[in-house]
Amino acid sequence: MLLETVMRSVQLTEAKAKFSGLLAAVEGGETIRIMRRGQVIARLVPEKPSMAADAFRPLWSDQGEIDLVAPDDAVPEPVEAW
């Protein structure tokens, strides 16, 4: 099933006048084309959410180099009485 995304197109003058409203629509997931004389000059697109784990994912691909096994607990050392 092919889902087609409908993009709203606005003229540059309208975009300048309603910029805050356009940003609110983009925050809601909408993509907006900004036109000048019938040509697309820019697109406002929502930022793809990312997680902190995404920054470390390339490091995890080399699991052979990283020790992921927890060591055994050491026997506690005796403490002298007061």
In a domain, 74, yes or no: no
Q: What does DSSP say about strands 32-36 and 39-44: parallel, antiparallel, or unpaired?
A: antiparallel
**Residue 82 covered by a domain:** no
- The band of 1, judged by pLDDT with boundaries at 50, 70 and 90, is very low
- In tens, the pLDDT along 19-50 reads 999 999 998 889 999 999 999 999 999 988 76
Would 80 be classed as within a structural domain? no
Whether 74 has a pLDDT exceeding 80, the answer reads yes
Give me the number of domains the chain comprises.
1
> Is 18 contained in some domain?
yes
Taking alpha carbons only, the member of 69, 30, 64 closest to residue 46 is 30
Residues in CB range of 22: below 8 A, 6 or more apart: 10, 15, 32, 44
Full domain range(s) for residue 38 = 8-65
pLDDT in the model for residue 68: 65
pTM tops 0.85, yes or no = no
Query: What is the reported pLDDT for 63?
Result: 60
Chain center to CA of 6: 22
Mean pLDDT value of segment 5-30: 91
CATH number for the domain harbouring residue 47: 3.40.1620.10
Number of residues written out for the chain = 82
Residue 44 lies in a domain: yes
